[in-house]
Each structure stands twice: as structure tokens, then as C-alpha cells.
Chain A
Amino acid sequence: MKRSYFGFALVLTLLALGLLGSTALGRIHTPLAQAAAEAAGEAEAGNLPAARELIRQVEVKWNAHRVLRQALIDHRTLDAVDSLLAELEAHDALGRTGSFAAGCRKLAQALENVAQDQALTWENLL
């Protein structure tokens, strides 16, 4: 009987950790996705300094939770975001406003994908 109590505790613990992980990922990355979308809007409106600053903040927060992300999400998804951030840097350095704005949109979508990766939704379950 003790083993079944252990099993019960194990299942509940895993459930709790799963829900915690899913919530944490959503809470961390949804604002980042929103900031990247805002940056895209600013870049499209021609306000590059504001867009640049938003992307910088996104990058800082992105780097802050690296370990959690790598423990929970497919590394290919994370590598895609890292690549987009590097691309944005390049577009900014070369003064390509249009590409910068498009890159910000792509980044916003990629960050939204990260936020939704472990979300408890029917789409994910199916």
C-alpha cells in the first residue's frame, strides 16, 4: 500500500510541476511576445529608437530565464528565437528598417510559440 501512496504522491507532484511550468512559461513569455509586437509597431511607424529599446529589453528578459526554458522546451524552438534576435541586431546595424520591422513581427510570433508551447490547451493536447 505504501507504494501506491508514493505513486499517488508522484503523480500529483508531476501534475503540480507541470502546471507550474506551463504557467511560468506563459507568464514569462507572453509579455515578451507583446513587447516584440509593440517593437514591430514602432519600427513600422518609423520610431526606431523606441523599437530598438523594446527589443533590447526583450533580449535581457529572454536571457534571464534560459535554464528554465532549456529544461522545458525543445531546443530548436529556442534556437530559432536566438537566431531572430541575432538577425534583428544585424538589420539594425545595417539600417534596414523594413527588415527590422519584419524581424520584430517574426520574433513576436516565435515568442508567442514559446509561451504557448506547454500551455494546457486542446490544440496542444491533440
Chain B
Amino acid sequence: MILSYIRTIMLHLVLIFSLRLMGKRQIGQMEASEFAVAMLAADLAAIPIQDNSIPLIAGLVPSLTVLGLELVFSGLIMGSIRFRQLLCGKPVILIDNGKVLQQNMRKTRITLDELMGLLRQKDVLEISAVQYAILETNGDLSVFPYPDEKPANARDAGVAVGEQYLPIPIIEDGHLFPENLKKSGKNEKWLDNHMKKHKITPSRTFLLTVDQGGNVYLIKKEDGT
């Protein structure tokens, strides 16, 4: 049992390292090949966990090979449009200027029910409200309603809005990030003053963010946490 335990830890670390190297993508954003790679690597790594007679290398080598190939392919995808199209396919237009392209739907094996379902997931009730709908290479449907069907934004309403800034987390769950404090243009003296003002310490702060506009957002930790 101890063998299974140690092997599991080792292979888990290798898997994390592999997925980390593959880059930051959520499952829903992965291309088909990336998803297949992630599943395959996990399955292959599990082989020596299930049977202690199988050498550890029988799980490591296939997982690392799959990782290596994925890294090579992703480089080729970046460098070659042809290779990208071969591996990832091309986006397919399903609705073009309001017209449902039935041939493209047949080509992509998307039924009308599926299309309606995908539109509903994008908060679109009527197919007639959609000007363009494009099936992306990762299976996601990009939907562009007609301009007069879209919710109005500030520009449409002629409303002047303020600048938007990216908040920088200074403290997260009681942990201070000195490099972020510096990045935000603040210093320890400012932080001390702010903490005193709110009668709190960094360790009791759940979240503290600052942005370039000088906006500060603070959440205190709840009692008992």
C-alpha cells in the first residue's frame, strides 16, 4: 500500500508539471487535441498506480512523450496555418447575416436542436435575433446578435463613463504580496496607515486591492476564519 501511495504522489506531481507546461487553458477552451492529450496523460500515468508490478517508467515515459508531442504540436500550430487547420480545423459559420447555413450544419453534424440549445446558453431565445453564429474549433459557439438586439452599452446611450483600472491584489487571505504593493505605487507606510484607519492587521484581511485610479477595496476576514 505504501508503494501505491508513493507512486501516486510521484505521478501526480509529474501530471501537474505536465499540465502546467501545457499552459493555462480551461477545459472548455481546449482544442480537441489538447483535451485528448490531457485525458491520455492522466490515463497513462495511472497505469503503474494500479499495478505495483509495472515499473514506474511505464507510466512516466508515455505521459512525458504525450506532453512533449503536445508542446511540439502547439509550436507547429503557432508557426503554420496549414498545420493549425489540419489539427484544429477551421471555424464554421452556421448563421450568416441571419441565414441559417444548413449545409454547414450538416457538415459539422450540429442538429437544429443543438443549435437552439447553444443559442439559449448564450441568452438568445430567438434564432431570428442572431446575425452571425460561428462554431469555433473548440466546439464553442460564438453568437453575434443584430445590433438592435444587443443590450445597449454606455457608448450607445451616449453616457460618459470613467476610466477602468485593473485592481492589484495587495493582501489575499492574510498574505501580503510586497511586490504587488510596489507595483501598485504604494509603500509599507501607506499600508500601515490604511490598516490603522480600518483598525485591522494584514493577517486579518481577506482581500485588499488597489488600482491605478487610487480605488481601494478591502474585505475583512470573518470571525472564526
The chain A residues found within 8 Å of chain B, CB to CB, are 1, 3-11, 14, 17-18, 70-76
Q: Given A71-B57, A72-B55, A76-B53, verify A11-B75 contact (CB < 8 Å).
A: no
Q: Which 7 A-B pairs have the closest CB atoms?
A: A4-B75, A7-B71, A10-B68, A11-B68, A75-B53, A7-B72, A7-B68
Contacts of A74 in B (CB 8 A): 53-55, 58
* CB-based contact B67/A10 at 8 Å: yes
| B211 is an interface residue with CB less than 8 A from chain A | no
Q: Which residues of B contact A4 (CB under 8 A)?
A: 71-72, 74-76, 78
When the two chains form their complex, are residues B68 and A1 in contact, meaning their CB atoms are under 8 A apart?
no
Inter-chain contact A1/B70, CB cutoff 8 Å? no
B50-100 residues at the A interface, CB under 8 angstroms: 52-58, 61, 64-65, 67-72, 74-76, 78-79
Contacts of A9 in B (CB 8 A): 68
List, sorted by A's number, 11 A–B pairs whose CB atoms are closer than 8 Å.
A6-B71, A7-B69, A10-B64, A11-B69, A14-B64, A71-B55, A71-B57, A72-B57, A74-B53, A75-B53, A76-B53
Residue of B nearest to A11 (CB): B68
Q: Which residues of A contact B55 (CB under 8 A)?
A: 70-75
Bin chain B's interface residue count. 20 to 34
Q: Once the chains bind, are B57 and A7 in contact (CB under 8 Å)?
A: no
Given contacts A7-B67, A10-B68, A71-B57, 16 further A-B contacts (CB under 8 A): A1-B75, A1-B78, A3-B23, A3-B71, A4-B72, A4-B74, A4-B75, A4-B78, A7-B72, A7-B75, A11-B72, A70-B55, A72-B55, A74-B55, A74-B58, A75-B55
CB distance from B17 to the nearest CB of A (A): 11
Q: Which residue of A lies closest to B69 (CB)?
A: A11
Expressed in whole angstroms, the minimum distance between the Cβ of B159 and any Cβ of chain A is 44
For A11, what are the chain B residues with a Cβ–Cβ distance below 8 Å?
Answer: 65, 68-69, 72
Q: Which residue of A lies closest to B51 (CB)?
A: A74
Write out the residue numbers on chain B whose beta carbons fall within 8 Å of the beta carbon of A73: 55
Q: Is the CB of A8 within 8 A of B68?
A: yes
